[in-house]
Chains A and B, each alone.
Chain A
Amino acid sequence: MDTHAHDRRRFLAIGAALAATPLLSACGAGFGGDDDKGDGSAADDITGSFDWKREQGTTVKALLNKHPYTDALIADLKSFTEQTGIKVEYDVFPEDNYFDKLTVDLSSGRASYDVFMLGAYMVWQYGPPGWLEDLGPWMANSSATGDDWDQADFFPNLLQADQWSLEAGAPLGQGGQYALPWGWETNVVAYNTDVFGRLGLKPAETFDELQELAEAIKRKAPGAGFDGMYGIAVRGSRSWATIHPGFMTMYARNGLKDFTVDGEKLTPAMNTPEAVAFTEDWAGMVKRGGPPSWTSYTWYQCSSDLGAKKAGMLFDADTAAYFQAVEGASPASGKIAFHPGPKGPDGSLATNMWIWSLGMNAKSKRKSASWLFLQWATGKEHLRKGAITHNHIDPVRKSVSQDPAYKDKMKNLPGFIETFETVVDQTKIQFTPQAQFFDATTSWASALQEIYGGAGAKSVLDGLAGDLADKVG
């Protein structure tokens, strides 16, 4: 008998068993989620009088997206540390990777970051698994929140945008406050005043006019001294981000919905005859008056084309035009004006918004210090400073938007303040809140690309609606 071989076999068997042990135990331990949510909020532990120095010596970790608003925050962080004795460590990621990084980090269940930037749409994805701290109890606790924070000073539609009951289809503005508005963007039309002046054009008041304008600029601008200029820059990449700015704004102004809600049942409505006609028109406008290689267009390309005098108009976030319009920022700076954009058939200026919010990790071990940071970052003093001395424009607070110094700073941009004031009350999230938002909008962008490529709008949108009905309904 070959005992040596026998021993080796036994050794390998034991090794294999040892290797399998963690696998089996991991299987038995279940998945990433846990049940340690509890019923109470950590905010309830904060008692006594409000004190900015309460968490002195603590370090808060923040995950931030590379953005001019972030630059304004980082530039002022020293004030926060001086005021509270809390140090802030942060990582900044470019937008292309930012949300994947945040998603992976939150889903891992670790508390690598205590606070982070997010959009209201992310609340629909991160809220249901319990990754976001409900900030409502913190806001309501006068021991945790200073009097000067002044909740009533926020534009109400912005505060409501981050508030949700976590139930698909339920309107925003109810349930937990899962993030705080910090900076936002409204979607309007920005245009090159030079080309408009030379061609004798006026900003479009209807969608039909916008389509004609886009086509006319593409046709006439190159002959009028604007070499290579096309009509209108709008996003086109295969991403959820293509749907939410200009497209969703115009879609909503036409009275169209993404889903109809009946109790808890959501039915896709992107394929109603009106929605099909609108989508066809939008794709046609892009084809006749939009950028070449539109299917790769993100906000970076749209914004830089306006700045480089490649685009006559931009229908996107006002900030995307603002960063090109400020003095010395681009060849077109000083020549960019703002307009609310075309109205719907009934005169609607319903506008979709993007809102940069700040949220807290539900797993954070430093919630009290994190709340002080959120309070400071969304407070009047910092936001006023950010708006006036940096580029943190589109104030989330009424007091900042009315501040004479802010108005004075923005008055050099033709139409900016007027446009902002015209649309601010009509700007809200025009999507139906639901957890499959990113799947739905990515597929929607893909459908839009197919229609742009020549596929029949009805069949493509019927296919999209059918696919989404199973996932969302």
Chain B
Amino acid sequence: MRLALRPYLLIVPALLLTCGILYPFGLGLYYTLFDFSASKPQPDMVRFENYETVFTQEAFWNSAWVTVLYAVGAAAVETVLGVAVALLLHRSSLVGRVLEKILILPLMIAPVIAAIIWKLMLQPSVGVVNYLLRPFGLGDVQWTDTPTGALLSSIAVDVWVYTPFVAILALAGLRSLPTSPFEAAAVDGAGWWYTFRRLTLPMLWPYVLVAVIFRFMDSLKVFDIIYALTEGGPGDSTVVLQIRAYLEAIRFQRYSFGISYTIVLWAVVYLAAMVLVRHLGRIQRKAAEVR
């Protein structure tokens, strides 16, 4: 009897966790079928009207576009920089080990704090960035005053915070690669670029792709960095989907409508993650063949 019960008892924590996730999710999904807001606490069922309104709003498509630009931009730059930094640090030296410790510092700062620090540093008249650029005749840059500037500045802060994350993953990957293929390539007289393209990168891809998946999904859900840096402005230029959902649900108290935004965002993130994880499987198989 005790043996028969054990498997069921073992799944209880997982079951509770699943319920803890599914309950608010299901409730949120259910609420999107109503026109629930502060001014209508006893709402009517409107079925899929909230989703129809979301998809027919110009504001949604603007937010969706900004979100994609941000996520692709941030993930791409972080990947390239992260891998580059990892390659530089891979050659073990005292400088490399010191740099490794410094590199991890941005990850220890809450992103919202990082954004506030950068907001002060990017301040045109008293910020340190323009101060440093002044000798080069570039001291009057209005970093977050234009739509493009605000988006690029937000991506730059994201890159500053999260590149170390990609670098650490890539570095871990580099250190776990087998040495024999590289020794064989060296004996054959292969150059650095050839070795990197044909050996390092294919074997490193699974690690890089894991970092890309994390960073891309996180960037799709970004809120803190952009909100602290630009509040979504100027105009609507940096209002990503999370900020739109927050404004609708919390600031303007249109709860159902706000949740509809988050459900749409969840679907986008879920689909993106599914595609990337499938791709990861294929990449892992290819990497194994190279090894």
Residues of A within 8 A of B (CB): 8, 11, 15, 19-20, 22-23, 26-27, 30-35, 100, 103-104, 107, 125-126, 128-130, 228, 237-239, 291-296, 310, 435-436, 438-439, 442, 445-447, 449-450, 452-453, 455
Are B234 and A31 in contact (CB-based, < 8 A)?
A: no
Interface of B is mostly: loop
- Assess A27 versus B231: contact at CB under 8 Å? Given A32-B41, A103-B253: no
Interface 1/0s, chain B 19-32, versus A by CB < 8 A? Answer: 10011001100110
Residue from B126, B143, B231 with most neighbouring chain A CB atoms (10 Å): B231
Chain B interface bracket (under 10, 10 to 19, 20 to 34, 35 or more): 35 or more
Do residues B231 and A237 form an inter-chain contact, with CB atoms below 8 A? yes
B39 at the interface (CB under 8 A from A): yes
Main secondary structure of the interface of A (DSSP, over half): helix
CA distance A296 to B124 in the complex (A): 11
What are the residues of chain B within 8 A of A100 when measuring CB–CB? 250-251
Given contacts A31-B41, A292-B142, A293-B124, contact A449 B15 (CB under 8 A): no
Contact sample, A vs B, 7 pairs, CB 8 Å cutoff? A22-B23, A23-B30, A33-B42, A296-B233, A438-B252, A453-B146, A453-B234
Q: Is the CB of B234 within 8 A of A295?
A: yes
B251 touches A11 (CB 8 A): no
Alpha-carbon distance between A450 and B233 when the two chains are bound, in angstroms:
9
Given contacts A294-B145, A455-B235, contact A23 B26 (CB under 8 A): yes
In the bound complex, residues from chain A placing their C-beta under 8 Å from that of B143 are: 293
Assuming A11-B8, A31-B41, is B19 touching A293 (CB within 8 A)?
A: no
Select one of B19, B125, B230, B247 contacting A296, CB under 8 A.
B230
Closest B residue, CB atoms, query A295: B234
**0/1 per residue, B236-267, Cβ < 8 Å to A?**
10000000000100111100000000000000
CB atoms of B8 and A23 under 8 A apart: no
Smallest CB–CB gap between B239 and chain A, Å?
Answer: 8
CB distance from B224 to the nearest CB of A (A): 13
CB neighbours of A19 from chain B (8 A) = 15, 18-19, 22-23
B36 interfacial contact with A, CB 8 Å: yes
The reply to whether A228 and B231 form a contact with Cβ atoms under 8 Å apart is no
For residue B96, CB closer than 8 A to chain A, the reply is no
CA distance A34 to B119 in the complex (A): 43
Most buried by A among B119, B235, B247: B235
Contact of B38 with A by CB under 8 A:
yes
Given A31-B41, A31-B42, A310-B125, A449 contacting B234 (CB threshold 8 A): yes
Q: In the complex, A22 Cα to B231 Cα: how many Å? A: 37
List chain A residues, Cβ under 8 A from B235: 238, 446-447, 449-450, 453, 455
B233 touches A129 (CB 8 A): no
> By the criterion CB–CB under 8 Å, are B234 and A452 in contact?
yes
